[in-house]
């Protein structure tokens, strides 16, 4: 895989302070993208989540969440190891679920499309506003893009993954602001635990819309926490 280190991505550390995750970049502490989204959910979103927990039971809800998180972390690690050249195709021949999911994303979402890798698991930040970690920054299909790898228990519809799009809006905007780029698209490559591959893309005016919507959530977050 061809790597191009044209961008100087910063090092950062993370901590939990004031009840949410912060990124430390030099002397600056910034709220994480996921914390901004989580703490500014609408009343309807919060109610839907609470209703689901009541329906399945809190213990089962925690089990599902923990299992999905573990599966997602393993899947991400295998994709990263493959793209960094640490493992080859034979590594995926065993039947662990997360390996099969990772291979599905590589085969259907990346192979034949990925031209250059700028970075993986890189910190992106918008000065004085927020920070986050992008899964993959690359040239793909002839354009500069930000890619997120996702796993799910079942197939997704666009209405149910608005936070995924807002994440991509946050990352692409931060990249443009700090590195002087014009990222062309945000792409979600998703695989369900039943090995169904899905791809979602936001670009052009739609990408700009999600960038602006995320800035609105940042403003709300700062107002809620009395941060000036």
13-224 placed in CATH 1.10.3470: no
pTM listed for this prediction: 0.91
pLDDT of residue 174: 98
Per-residue pLDDT tens digits for 21-37: 999 998 899 999 999 99
Per-residue pLDDT tens digits for 38-84: 999 877 777 777 777 888 787 877 877 777 778 888 899 999 999 99
pLDDT of residue 89: 63
Cα–Cα distance measured from residue 36 to residue 133, given in angstroms and rounded to the nearest whole number:
13
pLDDT of residue 63: 78
Q: Nearest CA to 172 among 145, 139, 206?
A: 145
List of the chain residues with pLDDT < 50:
none
């Amino acid at each position: 895989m061809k790597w191009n280190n044209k961008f100087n991505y910063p090092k950062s550390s993370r901590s939990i302070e004031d009840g949410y995750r912060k990124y430390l970049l030099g002397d600056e502490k910034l709220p994480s993208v996921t914390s901004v989204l989580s703490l500014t959910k609408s009343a309807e979103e919060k109610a839907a989540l609470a209703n689901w927990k009541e329906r399945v039971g809190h213990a089962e809800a925690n089990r599902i969440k923990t299992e999905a998180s573990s599966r997602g972390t393993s899947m991400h690690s295998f994709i990263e190891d493959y793209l960094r050249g640490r493992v080859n195709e034979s590594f995926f021949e065993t039947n662990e679920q997360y390996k099969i999911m990772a291979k599905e994303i590589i085969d259907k979402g990346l192979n034949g499309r990925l031209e250059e890798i700028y970075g993986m698991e890189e910190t992106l930040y918008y000065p004085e506003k927020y920070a986050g970690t992008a899964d993959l920054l690359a040239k793909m299909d002839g354009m500069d893009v930000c890619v997120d790898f996702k796993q799910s228990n079942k197939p997704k519809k666009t209405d149910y993954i608005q936070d995924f799009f807002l994440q991509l809006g946050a990352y692409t905007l931060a990249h443009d602001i700090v590195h002087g780029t014009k990222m062309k698209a945000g792409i979600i490559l998703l695989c369900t635990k039943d090995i169904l591959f899905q791809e979602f893309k936001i670009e052009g005016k739609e990408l700009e819309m999600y960038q602006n919507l995320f800035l609105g959530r940042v403003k709300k977050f700062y107002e809620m926490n009395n941060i000036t």
